[in-house]
Structure formats: C-alpha cells, structure tokens
Amino acid sequence: SGTEGDNIAVRGVVKAYKNRGNHIITSAIEHPAIRNTYKDLALDGMEVTFIPVDKNGIVDVEQLKAAIRPETILISVMHANNEVGSIEPIKEIGEIAKKNRILLHVDAVQTVGKIPVYPKELGADLLTFSGHKFHGPKGIGGLYIRQGVRVARTVTGGGQEKKLRPGTTNTPAVVGMAKALEMACESMEVEMIRESQLRDYFESEILKRIPEIVINAKNVERLPGTSSITFKYLEGESILLSLSYLGIAVSSGSACSSDELQASHVLLAMGIEPEFAHGTIRFSLGKYNTKEEIDYTIEQVVKVVEKLRILSPLWNEYTK
C-alpha cells in the first residue's frame, strides 16, 4: 500500500544513511503515513523538523531552506495534499534538496494517475503511489527509487522485491494496478479538464446558494477532483451523516482519519480556527462521476446545510 511504501522509503533511508546524519524534514500537513512515521522516528532519536504551510496549504520553502543542517539526510513532502488538494512546489524543493545533497521523498499517492507525475522532473529520489487512487485494486502500492539511492531493508525475510519487501508478491494486484495506471494515463488529459470543470461548477453553485462558507485552497493549483469546503457554524460529522443517508459519500477532513474527533491537523496548520475546521467537508470527484450526480449533490447539500443551521446554536447566535 501507499503507507507501506512511505515507511519503506523513510525508514529505509534513515537506516541506510544514519552515518551521514540524524536530521529529517517534512511538512506540517503530511498524511499520517508520513506524519506518524516521522513522529515514531523522533522517539528513536532522530531530529525532526515540521515545516509550516500558508493559508492555502503550500509549504513555506524559505523556512524549509532555513531548516536544513549539515546533518540533514532526508526531506519528505507530499505532491498534493489529501484533504484540500493543494499541489506543492516539489520541483523547487527538489532543486534545494539536490543542491544540499539531501534525498527527497515524495508521497505522490494523491497525484499518480490523476495528473502527470515524472519523478526525474520533480527531483524526487523516492516516490510513493497507491493503486486504489486511480481505480486499481485496493491494498497495492508502488515505490519508485532512483538508481544509486540506498534503502536499507526494514523487514527481514527472503529476497523478494529486491530484498526490500520480503514475502510472497501479490501478483494479481500488481498486474491490476499496472493496467489501471495504463488506463488512467490514456485518458488523463481529457479527464483532468472534465473533473476540473465539474469541481468548479459544483463550487460556484454552492457559493451562490449557501452563505458563510469557504472553499479551501481555492486560489492555488489543486487536484482537479478535490473540493474542501468549510461550512461555518456547523459540525462536519452531522453534514457527513446527513449526506450519507442521501447516498452521497463525503469525508470530514481526511477519509483515512475520519473516525477521529480532533480537528484536522491539515486545516489547523493552514490557520483555520478549530471550530470552523470541524465544519469542513471534503468532496472527491472521479472519472465515473456525472453532471447529474453533481446537480443532485448541490441540491442536497443546500437542503442539509439549511436544515442543520436551523438547529445550530452557533448559527442562531451568529445570525441574531
């Protein structure tokens, strides 16, 4: 999976290059697969720096530069954020990493199969992706490793998969992922435009019809099918459950951590107030979504928000 790929990359580099240094850098908005791996490594004695982001979820490159030390061995920054969709300046970060002889790992789970991704152009030494993000099988991922980069094994066993991931290879899933990626790339250019247009239409209609909402990361380059909307003075969980009852699948914050009660670390890092972060919903569009489904979703979101706000003490206090 993408999580396993992230772990092999980060832990493998840390182990392989431990004689060169003990400092690693990442962003404040990483997926838990990276965020929690870095936290775990900090408990094992690694020095970890989390770089802040701006209000659109873009990594502060100047602070990243300032954080580099002689003992820095790895930078890990996601290609696009899984909650708000903002695309990070990976190419610029890659140039910084190369200039300072630091390895760069990119979590590209959100982008491979959705937008063009070329590891060499990005300056990525390691890059992770996951099959289910482009309609491949679940539970299968991939890790690109640039030739010449050393990655120590983190799991012991046989010699499968270049000794980095011992155990019987799930060949059907590997083949399925490869075919799904091939199909995604064939239609990518057209699909990017289609999804972007659907997303923009969805957001414009919601903005017209519902007051006191914010489209997160709207002013920067985003993934074509990701829309993160903050509905002020409401709880995201109530919106999620109401829409689920109507056959609309959304997530509050990240789908990978939607069972948590804490406000999203991504939204908080972007400077969104905790009470508003709790009212944020992520809508994800894909190649099988239609204009009719978007129209249905718009109508139901408007009705749900209106109904819930009538019952909301926060909204009633605000509109006094």
Which residues form the catalytic set?
256
Radius of gyration of the chain measured on its C-alpha atoms: 20
Angle at 256 between CA 130 and CA 163, to 5 degrees: 40
Compute the distance between CA of residue 9 and CA of residue 126 in angstroms, rounded to an integer: 7
Number of helices (H), then strands (E), belonging to the chain: the values are: 12, 9
Helix, strand, or coil here: 215? Answer: strand
Query: What is the DSSP-derived secondary structure letter of residue 169?
Result: -
Helix, strand, or coil here: 290? Answer: coil
Question: 297: which 2 tokens?
Answer: 């979703």
Q: Are 98 and 76 in contact (CB under 8 A)?
A: no
Compute the distance between CA of residue 157 and CA of residue 165 in angstroms, rounded to an integer: 8
Could you tell me which of 127, 92, 129 has the C-alpha nearest to residue 113?
A: 129
* Alpha helix segments (H runs only) across the chain: 2-16, 32-43, 61-67, 90-99, 119-122, 171-186, 188-209, 236-245, 265-269, 274-277, 291-311, 313-318
Residue 171's Cβ-side half-sphere holds a number of Cα atoms within 13 Å equal to 2
